[in-house]
Chain A
């Protein structure tokens, strides 16, 4: 359960103040699937960063599972981020020296979870994605689609509330894109809130709801499918 209320974010660029987000309200519940579209500089990434607790708004409140995140200290925000938020990036951001399995394991390693449990959870995360035979390969030995699916496994290994995907198919060909989107949708069908920022209208239309942004504001929210 996610609730944004009057979120604003300003940046100082030279003498000018840029309003990247302007009084944004948003409410997301379990199982929601939203795409966010809009031109460059419309505030999509800023919204994603604020939802991911990577950035702080200048004004407004943000509740995540009934936690008022705007009042949290940095250390606690890191903990919320670790347990409730998953990220998928356009550039995959896999650690190049670690194997696929170790990359998936990384959030649990950082959280200090017992190694035995980590191995089991990595196994059960890679299996449905068909990546078990790739577990001991390093990222440079994987295809783009495989890399992104490893990144998705990593993003969901802590069983987060929300998965934030920033152009997840931006670096992929058509076939791999479909694989990745289907993987994301599979996870969404199990209750995960999925938020995809994309330029690709085809992918945008697949979401249950589409958000259009312009100049730091949500100008339109439409339902795509019944």
Chain B
């Protein structure tokens, strides 16, 4: 029998029972579609987190007080009582060749007021270098002045939201605001830039680190951000930081250095595992669709018993009947897969309209895997009914029993 005739015969028989065919196509389409949409969501989450991390800055290392015993990227949960990180520790790091910039960070929360308006926000104490290290951008004015970090000037840079809350559309630059009980002059406003790892960079005030320390009456730092000279010098910088701090802390390793790469690859791994898990769950629906195809093909074989008997009487060998039924099963699963792919792309498009910021895309491996598995299950589950059809006894089959 010619291949085009087998194809046409299969097509005619699946289009001969439209409702049954549509049900099967629906099952297959849902299976394929859900695998693709769910992997796209998982992949999107991974990309989202990755891009959040890269927004932090390039070649970034974070120095935290306290030592975690475990190695890896996680911040310390349990640790010894650490010695505080001080501003001098931070300044000592700048002398290393592998380190480009250092931004010490002191954090606290305080009320910020302008005339009658007051707002409780996070106050970030840092230096001039925070701007390049965190890749912040200004919409107005200047950032903190360079100079001796131990000298705290009474100047502040406001986040975009804070500026709007305090000043509405009025001019903020040059105005004096009050943070807690001290007066600061506004010298710049940050550009609006969404959430960054949970910290809303628009609802903060940035002041010189020394001013922050005196405001919160502390000498310790929340953390130190370090920018390595290049990607290759990150491990070297990490070693240098540990060595320098340990020298300054009487030989005790009491800080943790997190590299951005380590964080990134950890999250990458987590989200890949997550994606695989949801894809696996969705794959169950593909298997269910396959079983449904088998079920319906078995019904088709028993409903078409007399037709199979006729084909045998007309001189069709068992092998040919096997091929005919396998062709039907694969046509069904192939069309189901195509509809599923369409549904998946449609669904992704819809989600993109709803959440434009979330990076969604179907990974090519998910696309190929879903379609291959769909056709594979169709064929696999088509074999049993097809074999049953091929093995039918023509006399019994013709009698319609």
Contacts and interface: CB of A to CB of B under 8 A. Distances in A.
A78 B315 contact: yes
A55 B306 CA distance: 16
Interface residues of B, number: 26
Interface stretch (B41-49, B70-78, B120-128, B317-325): B317-325
Given A95-B307, A97-B16, A83 B317 contact: no
A110 B320 contact: yes
Contacts of B1: 109-112
B2 interface: yes
Contacts of B2: 109, 112, 115
B9 interface: yes
Prevailing SS type, chain B contact patch: helix
A63 B315 CA distance: 18
A115 B15 CA distance: 22
Contacts of A85: 315
B12 interface: yes
Contacts of A80: 315
A49 interface: yes
Contacts of B12: 97-98
B13 A97 contact: yes
Interface residues of A, number: 30
Interface centre among B311, B315, B394 (most CB of A within 10 A): B315
B351 interface: no
A79 B318 CA distance: 11
B395 to A, nearest CB: 5
B315 A110 contact: yes
B316 A78 contact: yes
Contacts of A82: 314-316
A110 B307 CA distance: 13
A75 B317 contact: yes
Contact of A55 (B13, B315, B319, B395): B395
B298 interface: no
A81 B398 contact: no
Contacts of B320: 110
B395 A111 contact: no
B316 A110 contact: yes
Contacts of B9: 109
Contacts of A52: 313
A191 B77 CA distance: 98
Contacts of B138: none
Nearest to A92: B310
Interface centre among A78, A79, A83 (most CB of B within 10 A): A78
Interface in B1-23: 1-2, 5, 9, 12-13, 15-16
A54 B400 CA distance: 15
B312 A54 contact: yes
B312 to A, nearest CB: 7
Contact of B315 (A81, A89, A95, A98): A81
Contact of A107 (B309, B314, B400): B314
Contact of A74 (B15, B318, B400): B318
Contact of B395 (A54, A75, A91, A97): A54
Given A82-B315, A96-B16, A112-B1, 9 more contacts: A54-B313, A79-B315, A81-B312, A82-B314, A82-B316, A91-B306, A97-B16, A110-B311, A112-B5
Interface of B: 1-2, 5, 9, 12-13, 15-16, 306-307, 309-320, 394-395, 398, 400
Interface of A: 49, 52, 54-55, 74-75, 78-83, 85, 87, 89, 91, 93, 95-98, 106-107, 109-112, 115, 154, 158
27 contacts: A49-B395, A54-B312, A54-B313, A54-B395, A75-B317, A75-B319, A78-B317, A78-B318, A79-B315, A79-B317, A80-B315, A82-B314, A82-B316, A87-B314, A89-B398, A91-B306, A93-B313, A97-B13, A107-B314, A107-B315, A109-B2, A109-B5, A110-B1, A110-B311, A112-B5, A154-B314, A158-B315
Across the A-B interface, give the 10 residue pairs with the lowest CB-CB distance, nearest first: A82-B315, A97-B16, A78-B317, A81-B315, A54-B394, A93-B310, A107-B314, A87-B313, A110-B316, A75-B317
